[in-house]
Amino acid sequence: MADDAKTRPTEVAVEEFVASVADETTRADCAALIEVMTRASGAAPVMWGPSIIGFGSYHYRYASGREGDAAVIGFSPRVGKLSLYLNDGTDQHAEALARLGRHSTTQVCLHVKRLADVDLDVLEEILRTSYASTTAAHA
């Protein structure tokens, strides 16, 4: 089955997207997250779709036959929060998440209101582990 994912790498400059973020604090948080995720992944930031900044990529294939490519880790500034994507699942990081600070999670998303609410060293640990885990699982 062909890749019909709507979220694909684009040619939009990451800096241009970040500059378009209305809230000054969120813009600063985006810049800081880019630095942290670049260190954690060793990959350059790339826009995926209109609003996700991703780092690295991997190919996936579901049992249904659907397949495509996705960013290994990434984030998106959403209304009132930053959504960070951990494609190895948030359950894998329970111990570190307990030390992170104020946040919420879904199956693969870590949500923080502001970076000031979390321990950036712990966040980088989570991102580095997630990147390595996802990359190894799809090697």
Cα separation, 105 vs 123, in Å, equals: 13
Crossing angle between the packed helical segments 120-137 and 24-41, to the nearest 10 degrees: 50
How large is the average pLDDT for residues 21-32?
Answer: 97
The domains located in the chain, with CATH, are 14-134 (3.90.1150.200)
Q: Check residue 1 and give its pLDDT.
A: 33
Residue 130 reports pLDDT greater than 90: yes
17-46 mean pLDDT: 97
Considering the chain, what is the average pLDDT of its residues? 94
pLDDT at 77: 97
> Residue 6 — pLDDT band, cuts 50, 70, 90?
low
> What's at 86, amino acid-wise?
L
Q: What tens digit of pLDDT does each residue of 41-64 get?
A: 999 999 999 999 999 999 988 889
pLDDT of residue 60: 86
Lowest pLDDT segment from 16-25, 33-42, 45-54, 62-71: 62-71
Cα separation of 88 and 136, whole Å? 10
